[in-house]
Amino acid sequence: MNESNQVGGHANESLRFVQLSDLHLSSIGIPNPLRIINKRVLGYLSWLRRRRHTHQRWVLDLAVEAIRELNVDHYAITGDLTHIGLKNEFEQAKQWLENLGDSYDITVIPGNHDLYTNERWLHSFKIWESYLYDDNELSKNSYSNNGLTRLNELYPIVRLRKNVAFIGVNSVFDAPWFRATGRIHELELKRLNNILNSKKLDAYCKILLIHHPITLTNTSKRKSLLNHEELISLLKKHPVNLVLHGHGHHSCTESIHRSNDFEIPIIGMSSSSSISQQPNYQAQFLLFEVTKNALEWEIVKQSFTLDIDKKCFSKSSTEKLITKHICAQTATE
């Protein structure tokens, strides 16, 4: 870790990072029948019928090719690298991640497809755990081989990069059949409260990464975050500067309004591998540049969308977000 990452960003120092989401980059092939005699059978049938045609690796390759030209410092991947969370899918995702870059430069958040059913840690997230660890690698202190238990022990994570604190939250759990809901474990919420109330992050732009949308505005109950109200209440008390999520496979923007006129932007993005041409559902990646000014954070967001005819990603919009510096002692005011 370099010195600037340890002490926080300096005035006018900027960090450029890209958000990718819902990659579904793996191929299931012909799975062992014993591995899908559970909820996974639904996902496998969906993959056979639709998802393997909708999500194309060449689209994701085009996105990465375009990103290579943008001189980014970090990648934030907000879940769903796989389809049904099989071991061979995790291995395919690891190979892709290693080709993308070093784990220090890539933060991965689990998606519901990555934990389609609860799986042993060794056969799932262990395969690319270095992309999940926070800067203190706290997960290494756990000895549980239960995938969900390990995730609940690991999160939330904090990764400090230049002037940005990436705060990763796990929203996946062993959801019932026919549901793609999320839930944040109560102990994780308590730890998140402590993290956001810590003065150690006062010098950083706080960006919360989560897979599920944190409101019901742009998602159905079947795909919702079940305890979203608890998270919103926490963020109103201890705010962040930006919330990024995936899951819905469509682009959307909203905000959380606090009583003192402080707005927390919430940005959701579409899949980075989809061939859909439906408006707001086209494949995209988002480029953010975060700059620390004297009294505020300036976050410039650029959206790059797939042009399926030209087979390339091109910039489709630019937006500037201005958000206040947040200090723990004044956050609740």
Note the pLDDT tens digit of each residue in 25-65: 999 999 999 999 999 999 999 999 999 999 999 999 999 99
Note the pLDDT tens digit of each residue in 264-289: 999 999 999 999 999 999 999 999 99
In a domain, residue 203? The reply is yes
309: domain CATH number? 3.60.21.10
Sheet containing 157-161: give its strands across: 157-161, 164-168, 205-209, 242-245, 263-268, 252-257
**Is residue 159's pLDDT more than 50?**
yes
In a domain, residue 2? The reply is no
Question: Does residue 110 have a cis peptide bond before it, meaning omega lies within 30 degrees of 0?
Answer: no
In a domain, residue 7? The reply is no
Residue 153: domain span: 14-324
Spatial CB neighbours of 48, under 8 Å, sequence gap ≥ 6: none
In a domain, residue 45? The reply is yes
Q: How far is CA 22 from CA 70, 134, 222, 281, 283, in A?
A: 21, 21, 17, 12, 10
pTM of the model as a whole:
0.94
Number of domains in the chain: 1
HEC string of 123-151 equals HCHHHHHHHCCCCCCHHHHCCCCEHHHHH
Cβ atoms < 10 Å from Cβ of 88 = 17
In a domain, residue 41? The reply is yes
In a domain, residue 156? The reply is yes
Q: How far is CA 206 from CA 79, 132, 268, 293, in A?
A: 19, 18, 17, 15
Q: What's the confidence (pLDDT) of residue 144?
A: 81
In a domain, residue 114? The reply is yes
Taken in order 9, 11, 13, 16, the sign of the CA dihedral is positive
In a domain, residue 197? The reply is yes
